[in-house]
Copies of this chain bind each other. A is one copy, B any other.
Amino acid sequence: MPQSNSANSVGVITPQIAQFDEPLTLVSGKTLASYELIYESYGELNADKSNAVLICHALSGHHHAAGFHEGDKRPGWWDACIGPGKVIDTNKFFVLSVNNLGGCHGSTGPTTTNPETGQPYGSDFPMVRVRDWVESQARLADRLGIEKFAAVIGGSLGGMQALRWSIQYPERLHYSVVIASAPKLSAQNIAFNEVARNAIMKDPEFHDGHYMVKNAIPKTGLMTARMLAHLTYLSDDAMGEKFGRDMKGDEVGYNYKPEFQVESYLHYQGEKFSTTFDANTYLLMTKALDYFDPAQYYQHDLAKCLDEATCKFLVVSFTTDWRFSPERSEEIVDALIEADKDVTYARIESEKGHDAFLIPIPRYINVFGAYMNRVVKDLKL
Contacts and interface: CB of A to CB of B under 8 A. Distances in A.
A131 B187 CA distance: 38
B190 A262 contact: yes
Contacts of A192: 231
A297 interface: no
A28 B252 CA distance: 9
Interface residues of A, number: 54
Contacts of A283: 256
Q: Kindly report how many copies of this chain are found in the complex they form together.
A: 2
Secondary structure of the A contact surface, majority rule: helix
B197 A199 contact: no
Interface string A240-259: 10111100000010111010
Nearest to A258: B194
Interface string A173-217: 000000000001111101110110111011110000000000000
A201 B256 contact: yes
Most buried by B among A184, A194, A197: A194
Contact of A187 (B30, B228, B239): B239
A198 B264 CA distance: 11
A245 B293 contact: yes
A240 B186 contact: yes
Contacts of A293: 245
A283 to B, nearest CB: 6
A351 interface: no
A250 B65 CA distance: 38
A224 interface: yes
Contacts of A190: 245, 260, 262-263
- The 4 A-B residue pairs with the shortest CB-CB distance, nearest first, are A187-B239, A202-B220, A187-B243, A187-B262
